């Protein structure tokens, strides 16, 4: 019952290979957790794994690869995933970073948004979209573009209670953070609804909602080096954001935010929120040793968050008890 896992770890999956789902997210569907993130081994770009206990992770699929099917559904999008004449710093092909997947109830499809760059540099700063009928199937790549013409780097997705979805990404060479509302099918940008912290260089956005408050976690902008993350809150997604407050220590315990895992406390039935971060190894081969960090997010009040260091956490928290 009190089996513990390390809060910083790099697990192996059922085939004995390292689980590569960096810059990713862990979603729960029923009793099953799906871990989706960057996999830059071979011709892979995004992979999906599943688990019911956080201890045993089963490989599902390389859901986006350089060989994924592409579809020209939008005339202004670039369908290239591979540019063989350019050398990438990590792996091969274009840089696909921070992929996030949400489910669209209307279309009954899973929609992935991600950060896209040419293999050799970060100059084009685009987002990209892919879509699939199942969470762990072969996604169809719909191409990359600049949202409403803006630069777009570190990014995330958020679906509100009314099923309206939002794409949040770093714009203007990372100077500003934009919140965009998506169209009903979640495949395009409808409008920009908010610009946050102009000139403050925020990266690694993660958004979630609790007790009617929106929260936005972000890191500073120091590449693969960890820095002080912060959180802000608001009653409204498009205005009223608080100033930023520090989260964790000056390196966010050597990590950069990438997701929130929501679980139910088996005793109280209360929702628990866990921080998911990346402890990046760096560029080149070191990237493949990047570890994951999972730590509890504590709410001292609706507007006061704390991320405390813990070397170990109990697996029991992640076992779904049917609420």
Q: Which lies closer to ligand GAL via its Cβ, residue 170 or residue 297?
A: 170
Q: Which of 62, 98, 126, 244 binds ligand GAL (CB under 6 A)?
A: 98
Q: Does 203 bind ligand GAL (CB under 6 A)?
A: yes
Q: Which lies closer to ligand GAL via its Cβ, residue 204 or residue 232?
A: 204
Q: Does 144 bind ligand GAL (CB under 6 A)?
A: no
Q: Which lies closer to ligand GAL via its Cβ, residue 198 or residue 223?
A: 223
Chain residues 212-251 in contact with ligand GAL, contact rule CB under 6 A? 223-224
| Cα–Cα distance, 128 to 118 (Å, whole number) | 12
* Dihedral (CA of 286, 137, 206, 201) sign: positive
In contact, 34 and 60? CB cutoff 8 Å: yes
Number of residues that bind ligand GAL (CB under 6 A): 9
- Provide the pairing of β-strand 229-234 with 155-159: unpaired
Residues in contact with 275: Cβ distance below 8 Å, sequence separation at least 6, in sequence order: 217, 257, 260, 293, 294, 295, 296, 297, 307
CB of 39 to ligand GAL, least distance (A): 14
Q: Does 288 bind ligand GAL (CB under 6 A)?
A: no
Nearest Cα neighbor of 99 from 157, 42, 24 is 24
Q: Which lies closer to ligand GAL via its Cβ, residue 114 or residue 142?
A: 114
79: phi then psi, degrees, rounded to nearest 5? -90, 5
Q: Which lies closer to ligand GAL via its Cβ, residue 114 or residue 264?
A: 114
Q: Which of 13, 136, 154, 291 binds ligand GAL (CB under 6 A)?
A: 154
Angle at 230 between CA 226 and CA 235, to 5 degrees: 150
Give the three-state DSSP class for 54.
coil
Q: State which residue has the least CB distance to ligand GAL.
A: 223
Q: Which of 11, 20, 23, 130 binds ligand GAL (CB under 6 A)?
A: 23
As beta bridge partners, residue 25 has 36
CB of 26 to ligand GAL, least distance (A): 17
Q: Does 256 bind ligand GAL (CB under 6 A)?
A: yes
- Output the CA torsion 33→111→292→175 (10° steps): -150
CB of 112 to ligand GAL, least distance (A): 16
Q: Which lies closer to ligand GAL via its Cβ, residue 199 or residue 322?
A: 199
Q: Which of 20, 33, 49, 97 binds ligand GAL (CB under 6 A)?
A: 97
Q: Does 257 bind ligand GAL (CB under 6 A)?
A: no
CB of 85 to ligand GAL, least distance (A): 22
Q: How far is CA 243 from CA 201, 228, 246, 268, 307, in A?
A: 14, 15, 10, 32, 18
CB of 37 to ligand GAL, least distance (A): 11
* Dihedral (CA of 189, 192, 195, 196) sign: negative
Which stretches of the chain bind ligand GAL, using CB under 6 A?
23, 97-98, 154, 203-204, 223-224, 256
């Amino acid at each position: 019952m009190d089996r513990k896992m390390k809060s910083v770890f790099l697990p192996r999956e059922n085939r004995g290979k390292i689980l590569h789902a960096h810059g990713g997210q862990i979603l729960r569907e029923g009793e099953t957790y799906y871990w989706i993130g960057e996999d830059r081994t071979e011709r892979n770009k995004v992979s999906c794994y599943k688990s019911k206990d956080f201890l045993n992770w089963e490989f599902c699929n390389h859901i986006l690869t350089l060989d994924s099917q592409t579809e020209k559904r939008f005339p202004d999008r670039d369908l290239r995933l591979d540019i063989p004449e350019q050398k990438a710093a990590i792996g091969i092909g274009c840089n696909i970073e921070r992929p996030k997947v949400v489910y669209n109830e209307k279309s009954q499809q899973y929609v992935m948004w991600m950060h896209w760059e040419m293999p050799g540099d970060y100059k084009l700063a685009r987002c990209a979209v892919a879509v699939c009928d199942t969470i762990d199937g072969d996604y169809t790549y719909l191409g990359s573009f600049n949202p409403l013409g803006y630069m777009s780097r570190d990014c995330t997705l958020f679906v509100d209670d009314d099923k309206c979805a939002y794409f949040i990404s770093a714009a203007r060479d990372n100077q500003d953070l934009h919140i965009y509302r998506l169209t009903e099918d979640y495949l395009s940008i409808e409008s920009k609804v908010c610009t946050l912290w102009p000139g403050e260089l925020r990266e690694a956005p993660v958004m979630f909602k609790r007790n009617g408050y929106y929260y936005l976690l972000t890191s500073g902008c120091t590449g693969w080096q960890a820095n002080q993350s912060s959180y802000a809150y608001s009653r409204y997604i498009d205005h009223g954001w608080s100033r930023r407050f520090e989260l964790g220590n000056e390196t966010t315990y050597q990590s950069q935010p990438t997701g929130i895992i929501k679980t139910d406390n088996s005793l109280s039935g209360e929702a628990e929120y866990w921080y998911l971060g990346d402890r990046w190894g760096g560029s080149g081969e070191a990237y493949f040793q990047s570890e994951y960090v999972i730590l509890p997010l504590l709410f001292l009040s609706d507007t006061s968050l704390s991320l405390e260091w813990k070397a170990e956490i109990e697996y029991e928290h992640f076992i779904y008890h049917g609420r």
